Structure 1
């Protein structure tokens, strides 16, 4: 994860404003001294072992901190359409080392899910500025130590030398340090495509990597090095994004966006421009990151609590938005993907049938789609007029829906996908109405208000004072006036005029007898206090506490 410091703030416009005369293109195919058995670079493009153009479309996953999450995470990323995953590893210099056996297991899991594995040593982050950070030379020592896990896997593995290997202090050492790392790995018998991260916490606002990439590339005796920029606050305009990326493509130097997000503490990156430019130039990108972010950047999680059915807005954008992973990803041909030339989409699945409809869930089943090379999965979407919202993915012809709102009409449809990433037409929709939620035979609501005049926070607690559990709930109330909900947690909250409706999340769905659940909301305010006069739960009046 990129953490550009305040010293870089004055350089945000440097990317677009300080272009220099570029050297002539380096033709890798003409100068490489040894072909590889796996990925390779030719004329600025990354080719897989079959000689097919390969464009990374994937996600970063923090394996070193969440190793138990990795098997499910990689399966979920594949189901969501990714063709690659950048895996965070530790050399042992700052965090617990991922040893040879663990790295081999990660590679095996990537292969089982038909994902290209980009392995990166994270301990180098911010070297020269971050206390305890490892050097690129130490990262090379690590790769040599775990060589048995990666040698022979050149068809499936890209080695990312070290994450963001220089901060904003001492970044001029990037060229020599990176060149030395590349040549040492080649001397140690590594024939993989190597990936070199930019300095300046990955953002290269100083243009150090941009201006010296050719020197590093030609120092590689196999001419098989790819460069990686991390696009956060420095890249907050489309002009800056395009200027930087085209400075590589015009010289036929391979470049990928190894990390990027939709927001950041150092500025608001233009993720739409990043994704659109990558699609136009056929460049790879890897979004940061699947889940588990902390330290104030939790907003960069693509999924809540590693749950693929709970994609965040950033996750919805990256996977399902324009120029996103679902739309542009193609599986590597070494796994039977796009290199096979398959451009024919599957047929549309059959119209889903809804069964087992309850107040908060339902089961959908549908007839399988057909495809000349085989269907690999299905995407279930909720249809609401002309819009659709992704709900879940599955490899079978059924899906269990949860977290629905009682007494609400829904329409769901299904898409099919094949191994090359082709997507079918949408199925016909299945419409149904969830059952009414059980009326509360006893409830009370506590509403604790924190009001500072122009805004408020409210902590809301629903108590079940009745004689039976409440399975699924809808709490309704009205603001006194002038308040507008801006965010909520532990409940889904919508507002129409002054009326507010809160419905449960899957983890707050059940209120046992004598128990309670709580949720919170934030709202802007134009004055007056925001304490509602009355509450109803599933249509029944509740006492106030």
Structure 2
């Protein structure tokens, strides 16, 4: 979601890309600890088409985005509440550093132990942890910033931990790493290189790639998804589209006819597509432009496409809540309006359609 956009210093793209690829190739970072070579064990993409679990069952992601990095105790209380929806997955919002209010607000590196706490909590509740790095949201240069994301995922403290959970996790390289300025060829190149870097480092788990243009450009996957899948030596990718498509928006209108056509095209692509962010509205210039989320949920259900609602809400950090928070107190009992509909009451809500994965 673009409301958490951050800015970052810029480096020369080719130099960084070369450096990442070279350093990975000579270091073999974590290869000795990487997960099983049998990709049919644990979560895996079948024939480049759909996500399956350890028992070979198709998994339709039905989950919620949670801003763990902004929550007290990294969202442990909120994860307990999310589990009451019956969600089978949680997309965990992470940053390389966070403001540690227990230490006067000092910027502090996210540790492997903190990350493990979030992962183990999700798994214990039957929810697939989808780990996403939020630092490069809305970047103007995907070629320089995705290598930084790869560098963080392949840090020994992080990679050694995640290799132990490869059967149970999905790794989302970076959240919305394009502000709409990237050329399709550059965006594809940056992601193909990033996937290669992660594979060379030892990651065998499914890797999730966000669409360009703040995650909204679904056409990119229709045109490039198959070749990107072929470029992954494990053919183990998931393609995430963020459905900020308001009925009447300040920057575009998306009527029901357009939504129906788009969902048909995504389903007919044969690719493992997920609506990685599904919200009740798109916030443009601080105005909420409504999205027909109920129609999107219905089409996801009938066409076998996963969805993850943006986003839960905060219990001990209520100041982090905003217009799209499903609950303003971080509690299941605090679900309201569209948030309650998406989680519980809609005919195609999480609670009514989620099926847990086998043996996380």
Tell me what 1:65 maps to.
70
RMSD: 2.8
Assess, with a 3 A threshold, how the Cα gap between structure 1 residues 3 and 105 changes in structure 2: closer, same or farther.
Answer: closer
Give me the whole-angstrom Cα distance separating, in 2, the residues matched to 1:183 and 1:2.
Answer: 26
Using the size of structure 1 for normalisation, the TM-score is: 0.52
2:177 counterpart of 1:165: yes
Which residue in 1 is equivalent to 2:340?
316
The residue that corresponds to 1:91 in the other structure is 96
Q: Is the 8 A contact 2:70 2:320 kept in 1?
A: no
1:271 aligns with 2:293: yes
CA–CA distance in 2 between the matches of 1:108 and 1:227? 25
**Any conservation in 2 of the 1:64–1:96 contact (CA below 8 Å)?**
no
**SS of 2:135 mapped into structure 1:** helix
User: SS where residue 51 of structure 1 aligns?
Assistant: coil
Q: What residue in structure 2 maps to residue 204 of structure 1?
A: 217
Structure 1 position 127, deviation (Å)? 1.1
Task: Name the SS of the counterpart of 2:58 in structure 1.
Answer: coil
Quickly say closer, same or farther: Cα 1:250–1:203, change in 2 above 3 A.
Answer: same
CA–CA separation in structure 2 for the residues paired with 1:2 and 1:268: 16
Alpha-carbon distance in structure 2 between the residues aligned to 1:188 and 1:311: 41
Residue by residue over 1:407-448, the C-alpha shift from the partner in whole angstroms, topping out at 9 and shown as x without a partner, is xxxxxxxxxxxxxxxxxxxxxxxxxxxxxxxxxxxxxxxxxx
Q: Equivalent residue of 2:329, what SS?
A: helix
1:331 aligns with 2:335: no
Per-residue deviation at 1:296? 11
Question: What is the CA-CA distance between 1:271 and the residue it aligns to?
Answer: 0.2
CA–CA separation in structure 1 for the residues paired with 2:131 and 2:336: 25
- Deviating runs (4+, > 4 A) in structure 1? 93-96, 292-297
Note the alpha carbon deviations across 1:97-137, whole angstroms, 9 max, x for none.
Answer: 3222211111111112121100000112011179xx97111
In structure 2, C-alpha distance between the alignment counterparts of 1:72 and 1:152, rounded to whole Å: 24
For residue 68 of structure 1, report the CA deviation from its aligned partner: 1.9
1:34-45 to 2 correspondences below 5 Å: 35-43=39-47, 44-45=49-50
- The residue aligned with 2:165 is 153
Per-residue deviation at 1:232? 1.1
> Residues 423-475 of structure 1: CA distance to partner in whole angstroms, max 9, x if unpaired?
xxxxxxxxxxxxxxxxxxxxxxxxxxxxxxxxxxxxxxxxxxxxxxxxxxxxx
Deviations 1:64-108 (A, max 9, x none): 111425111111111121111000011249975322221111111
Separation (CA, whole Å) in 1 of partners of 2:74 and 2:112 = 19
Matched residue of 1:309: which SS?
helix
Which residue of structure 2 aligns with residue 188 of structure 1?
A: 201
Partner of 2:255: 237
- Secondary structure, aligned partner of 2:70: coil
Q: Which moved more, 1:170-179 or 1:92-101?
A: 92-101
1:355-394 pair list within 5 angstroms: none
Report which of the two structures shows the higher radius of gyration computed on alpha carbons: 1
What residue is the counterpart of 1:135 in the other structure? 145
Residue 273 (structure 2) aligns with: 255
* 1:246–1:217 Cα change, 3 Å: farther
Q: In the alignment, which residue of structure 2 is the partner of 1:226?
A: 238
Greater percentage in helix:
2
Structure 1 residue aligned with 2:310: 288
CA contact (8 A) 1:57 1:84 kept: yes
Shift of 1:216: 1.1
1:297 shift after superposition: 7.9
TM-score (norm 2): 0.78
Match of 2:132 among 114, 120, 127: 120
1: CA distance, partners of 2:276 / 2:111: 23
Relative to its length, the structure with more strand (as a share) is: 1
Structure 2 gaps, min length 5: 6-36, 100-106, 248-253
Check conservation: 2:131, 2:172, Cα contact below 8 A: yes
Determine the C-alpha separation between the residues in 2 that align with 1:93 and 1:71: 16
Take 1:100 and 1:269, find their aligned partners in 2: how far apart are those partners?
37
- Verify: 1:298 aligned to 2:298, yes or no: no
Secondary structure class of the residue paired with 2:352: helix
Partner SS state of residue 90, structure 2: strand
* Partner SS for 2:333: coil
* Counterpart contact for 2:318–2:328, Cα < 8 Å: no
Which moves more between the two structures, 287-296 or 148-157? 287-296
Aligned-pair CA distance for 1:265: 2.3
Once the two structures are superposed, residues 145-203 of structure 1 have per-residue CA deviations (whole angstroms, 9 ceiling, x without a partner) of 11122113122210011100111122432111111111111111100000000110111
